[in-house]
């Protein structure tokens, strides 16, 4: 429901890291998103196609790694995915349990392309804060 600001955050982070690498383009983004995050992949993709236009990330592929909701039982040690409408342990029925997965919400990595000339220029004049200096 709020995928637009989320997608904007993803773009901002990706561009920041790409700039740090003096990349000329971003080709892939690897996202890890837990099922507890209430984010719909298709909506992120939809906004991505719009907001990445005219940036070095235009046309980049979004890879979604979905992590399921997981719980762990303190009584029998079982790790499980709760069935709808339940949370308690399906193994022993215990309610002494804890959420153990599914809350991820991060950008794990990006794949970027670098121009060799840019790289040489950077070696010659190491830049501060990702600003490429003229040589």
Tokens representing 84 are 């709808």
Other C-beta atoms within 10 Å of 98: how many? 9
Residue 114: CB minimum distance to other proteins, A: 4
| C-alpha span between 20 and 11 (Å, rounded) | 14
Check: CB of residue 24 under 8 Å from CB of residue 132.
Answer: no
Question: Phi and psi for 76 in degrees, rounded to 5?
Answer: -115, -5
Which SS3 state, helix, strand or coil, does residue 66 take?
strand
The answer to whether 108 and 34 are in contact (CB under 8 A) is no
Among 29, 39, 73, 112, binds Zn ion (CB under 5 A): 73
Q: Give the x/- contact pattern for other proteins in 106-135, rule: CB under 8 A.
A: xxxxxxxxxxx--x----------------
Q: Which of 18, 56, 57, 60 binds other proteins (CB under 8 A)?
A: 18
Per the structure block, which two tokens stand in for 4? 């637009």
The answer to whether 2 contacts Zn ion (rule: CB under 5 A) is yes
Choose the contact partner of 111 out of other proteins, Zn ion, none; CB within 5 to 8 A by kind.
Answer: other proteins
When the beta carbons of 73 and 110 are compared against Zn ion, the nearer one is 73
Is residue 94 at the binding interface for Zn ion, with CB under 5 A as the rule?
Answer: yes
Binding site for other proteins (CB under 8 A): 1-2, 5-6, 9-10, 12-14, 17-18, 21, 23, 27-28, 31, 36-38, 69, 71, 84-88, 95, 97-99, 103, 105-116, 119
């Amino acid at each position: 429901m709020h995928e637009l600001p989320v997608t904007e955050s993803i773009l901002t982070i990706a561009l920041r890291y790409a700039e740090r690498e003096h990349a000329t383009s971003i080709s892939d983004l690897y996202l890890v998103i837990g099922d507890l995050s209430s984010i719909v992949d298709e909506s992120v993709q939809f906004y991505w196609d719009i907001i990445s236009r005219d940036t070095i990330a235009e046309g980049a592929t979004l890879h979604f790694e979905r992590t399921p909701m997981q719980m762990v039982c303190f009584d029998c040690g079982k790790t499980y995915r709760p069935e709808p409408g339940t949370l308690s342990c399906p193994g022993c029925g215990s309610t002494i349990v804890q959420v153990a997965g599914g809350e991820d919400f991060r950008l794990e990595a990006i794949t970027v392309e670098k121009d060799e000339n840019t790289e040489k220029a950077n070696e010659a004049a190491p830049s501060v804060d990702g600003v490429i200096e003229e040589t």
